[in-house]
Structure 1
Amino acid sequence: MTIVRVSLLAVALLLSTQVMAANSQQDKMKSCNADATAKSLKGDARNTFMSTCLKATASAPAASMPATQQDKMKSCNADASAQSLKGDARKAFMSTCLKK
C-alpha cells in the first residue's frame, strides 16, 4: 500500500513539473509575440525577432540586447527593414542601434 502511494506521489510530481515548464514556454511565447506586435514587425523581420526572443534565457530576458555583435547586427537589420529605412536614414538608425 505504501509503495503505491509513493509511486503515485512520484508520478504527480513529475507531471506537475512538466506542466510548469509548458506554462513557462507559453508565457515566453505570449510575451515575445506581444513585443513583436508592438514593434509592428512583419515577415522575415518578425521571424528573426521571434527566434531571438524565444532563445533568450531566463537570465537574459527578451527585452535585453543580444549578446553577440552578430546577433545585434541581425536584430538591428531586421528592425531597419521592418521600418523600410533606406540610405542615410538606415545608416543613422543602424549606427544608433548597434551602439546600444
Structure 2
Amino acid sequence: MKRILMVLSLCATVMGMGMGVAQSATMASDGSGAQQACEAQAAAKKLAGAAKTSFVGKCVKDASASAKASQCEKAAADKKLAGAAKNSFVQKCLKTDGAADKASQCEQAAADKKLAGAARNSFIQKCVKTT
C-alpha cells in the first residue's frame, strides 16, 4: 500500500512537470519510457552522479512494481473480489509473478549453459534461491 501511495504521489509530481513526461511514465510497459521519465525527474531535481543513478534505479523499480500491482488489482476487480479475498489474491499474484520471472530467468541460464538432468535441476533450484 505504501508503494502505491508513493507511486501516486510521484505521478502527481510528474504531472506537475508536464503532461508529456507523465504520459511516458504511465504508458511505459517495456521500462524504457519509465527510464526516460525517471531521468527527466532526476534532471528536474538537478541530481548527478551516484545520487542520480540511485534515484533513477529506485524510480524505475517502483514504476515496474506499480505496473505489476495495477495488473493484479485489475485481475481482482475482474473476478469481483473484495476485502480479504482481494488482498490475498493481489499478494499471491504479485508473488507468483516475481517467482515466475526468477524461474524463467534461471531456466534460460540453464539452457544457455546446456545443462541437463540432475545438474540442470540443481542449478535451477540454487539459482532461484539466490536470485
Answer 1 or 2: higher relative contact order, Cα 8 Å, separation at least 6. 1
**TM-score (normalizing by structure 1):** 0.47
Larger relative helix fraction:
2
Larger radius of gyration: 1
